[in-house]
């Protein structure tokens, strides 16, 4: 099983929200989400939690490229502008610090026009439970 398959099927919350990883390379990852009416908050714009879930899925792909299962210990998101129904969101991230025990990464979420919707940063803890993937893709 690849890391992409593991996360796209194993992260049931992200999958149920419609977020899906489309690319994972060494130290980088991309996921997408089509904003539907189910993603809207009471104000009629995309719920911040949907955007966070998309970015967090990319973060998981970034920090789990090693030998042991890794989980977030800190994450922050800054919402620049609202996403709207019909938008296609793209979250693209990279590892900013490949520390052996506490790696960190940054994810930028844009819409179909390249407008920056949000910026996510996070740190993770590399656990002691080994996990094995056949390949990143």
Domain boundaries, the chain: 3-129
With a CB cutoff of 8 Å and minimum separation 6, the contacts of 49 are none
Contact (Cβ atoms closer than 8 angstroms) between residue 124 and residue 103: yes
DSSP run (H or E) holding 110: strand 104-110
Say which CATH superfamily domain 3-129 falls into.
Hotdog Thioesterase (3.10.129.10)
The pTM for the full model equals 0.96
46 bridge partner residues: 40
In 3D space, the residue among 57, 48, 52 whose CA is nearest the CA of residue 29 turns out to be: 57
Interval 28-69: pLDDT, tens: 999 999 999 999 999 999 999 999 999 999 999 999 999 999
């Amino acid at each position: 099983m690849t890391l992409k398959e593991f996360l796209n099927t194993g992260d049931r919350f992200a999958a149920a929200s419609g977020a899906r990883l489309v690319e994972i390379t060494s130290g980088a990852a991309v996921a997408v989400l089509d904003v539907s009416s189910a993603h809207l908050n009471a104000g009629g714009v995309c719920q911040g939690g949907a955007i966070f879930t998309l970015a967090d899925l990319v973060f998981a792909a970034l920090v789990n490229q090693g030998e042991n299962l890794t989980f977030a210990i800190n994450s922050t998101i800054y919402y620049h502008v609202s996403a709207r129904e019909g938008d296609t969101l793209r979250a693209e991230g990279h590892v900013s610090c490949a520390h052996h025990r506490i790696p960190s990464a940054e994810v930028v979420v844009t819409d179909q026009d390249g407008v920056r919707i949000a910026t996510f940063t996070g740190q993770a803890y590399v656990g002691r439970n080994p996990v094995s993937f056949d390949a990143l893709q």
